[in-house]
């Protein structure tokens, strides 16, 4: 299914992939650096990129795949158009984060860790943004939000559904 909007990311292209890999391959312990750069460009780690990274770094496919799956940040497929990360760690729990997460789930009709059917929004838990004195906190498309409340959740949901 093609999403009903233009993606912020480039479509997968092996030539572009190798270019990105080559750019960082000479650095010490380059695997994470390369995976971050690939995800930055393509919005996820395209499967064909894994053997390419492996051969550039002289590693086995299994090793690179193992790194890719170990870290929560790396995606196997692109996220929705918007990504809303709600902090679910203790400081935000103490400040009413549980109820806000439940409200977001209910408004969007999806549980944390999922994307809406129209692929407009991915809702994810995050464990601490370091904004614990102005909790609860969230991150919307890389933008930080402190002192989150019900009205703000509702506004975000409305804004991202447009």
Partner 1 sequence: MTLRLYVPRDAGAVAVGADEVALALEQAAAKRSIAIEIIRTGSRGLYWLEPMVEFATPAGRVAFGPVTVAGAPALLEAMTADGAHPLRLGLADEIPWLKRQTRLTFARCGVIDPRSLDHYRAHGGYKGLKRALSLGPDTILAEVTASGLRGRGGAGFPTGIKWKTVAQAMADRKYIVCNADEGDSGTFADRMIMEGDPFLVIEGMTIAAIAVGASKGYIYIRSEYPHAVEAMNAAISAARRAGYLGRRTGDATRSFDLEVRVGAGAYVCGEETSLLESLEGRRGIVRAKPPLPAHHGLFGKPTVINNVLSFAAVPFVLTEGAKAYADFGMGRSRGTMPIQLAGNIRRGGLFETAFGVTLGELVDEIGGGTLSGRPVRAVQVGGPLGAYFPRALFDTPFDYEAFAARDGLIGHGGIVVFDDSVDMAKQARFAMEFCAIESCGKCTPCRIGSTRGVETIDKIVRGERVAENRAVVEDLCNTMKLGSLCALGGFTPYPVMSALKHFSEDFGPAPTRLQAAE
**Residues making contact with partner 1 (CB under 8 A):** 28-33, 35-36, 57, 63, 66-67, 70-74, 87, 89-96, 126-135, 137, 139, 142, 144-147
* Comparison of 82 and 118: residue with beta carbon closer to partner 1: 82
Q: How far is the CB of 3 from partner 1 (least distance, A)?
A: 24
Residue 134: enclosing H or E segment and its boundaries? none
Q: How far is the CB of 130 from partner 1 (least distance, A)?
A: 4
* Comparison of 129 and 156: residue with beta carbon closer to partner 1: 129
Q: How far is the CB of 38 from partner 1 (least distance, A)?
A: 12
Exposure pattern of 48-85 as b/e (b: 16+ CB <10 Å)?
ebbebbbebbeeeeeebbebbeeeeebeeebbbbbbbb
User: Which of helix, strand or coil describes residue 28?
Assistant: coil
DSSP 8-state class, residue 159: H
DSSP 8-state class, residue 11: P
Q: How far is the CB of 64 from partner 1 (least distance, A)?
A: 9
* Comparison of 6 and 28: residue with beta carbon closer to partner 1: 28
Nearest to 100 by CA among 109, 88, 83: 88
* Comparison of 1 and 60: residue with beta carbon closer to partner 1: 60
Work out whether strand 121-126 and strand 138-140 pair parallel, antiparallel, or are unpaired: unpaired
């Amino acid at each position: 299914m093609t999403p009903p909007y233009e993606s912020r990311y480039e479509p997968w292209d092996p030539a572009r992939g190798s270019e990105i890999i080559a750019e960082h391959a000479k650095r010490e312990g380059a695997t994470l650096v390369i995976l971050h750069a690939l995800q930055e460009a393509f919005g996820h780690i395209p499967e064909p990129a894994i053997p390419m990274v492996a051969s550039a770094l002289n590693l086995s496919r299994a090793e690179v795949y193992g790194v890719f799956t170990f870290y929560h940040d790396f995606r196997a497929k692109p996220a929705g158009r918007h990504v809303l990360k709600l902090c679910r760690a203790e400081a935000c729990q103490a400040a009413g984060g549980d109820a806000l997460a439940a409200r977001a789930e209910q408004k969007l009709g999806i549980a944390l860790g999922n994307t809406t059917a129209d692929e407009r929004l991915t809702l994810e838990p995050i464990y601490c943004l370091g904004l614990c004195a102005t909790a609860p906190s969230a991150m919307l498309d890389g933008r930080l939000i402190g002192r989150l409340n019900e009205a703000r959740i509702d506004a975000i949901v409305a804004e991202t559904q447009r």
